[in-house]
Structures are given as C-alpha cells and as structure tokens.
Amino acid sequence: MATIKIKQVGSPIRRPEVQRQILIGLGLNKMHKVVERQDTPEVRGAIAKIPHLVQVID
C-alpha cells in the first residue's frame, strides 16, 4: 500500500483538544516534524480535519 508524508506546520497551542488528539494520533507533536503513514481513508480523514495544522508532502 502507498504511503503519505505528513508535516506539522501549525502549533496546537490555543486549539481545541480534539485537534490536539488528532495530531497525536498521526504521530505529530513538534513543529516541522515529518511522519510517514499508510495512505488510508482514516489517515486522509484525520488530515482533512486539521488542514491548517498539517501539510502533505509529495
């Protein structure tokens, strides 16, 4: 299955707890950190909920 690279570009400070939990679920916790995840509908849905905090690379 294909993978997707996700980079955190926004801070979770002053964001709702739900958005913080989504970042943690994706494995992101620091600014400019890049993680590689499987390209599944669940991951795409999490990215869609916080587009202002993450960026998809490639």
User: What residue numbers bound the domain in which 8 lies?
Assistant: 3-57
Nearest-CA neighbor of 12 among 58, 25, 36, 57?
A: 25
Global pTM?
A: 0.92
In this predicted model, what pLDDT tens digit does every residue of 3-34 receive, in sequence order? Answer: 999 999 999 999 999 999 999 999 999 999 99
3-state secondary structure of 43: helix
* CATH of residue 38: 3.30.1390.20
Amino acid at 41: P
Cα angle, residue 43 at apex, residues 52 and 51 outer, rounded to 5°: 10
Q: Is the pLDDT of residue 1 over 90?
A: no
**What's the rounded Cα separation, in Å, for the pair 38 and 2?**
6
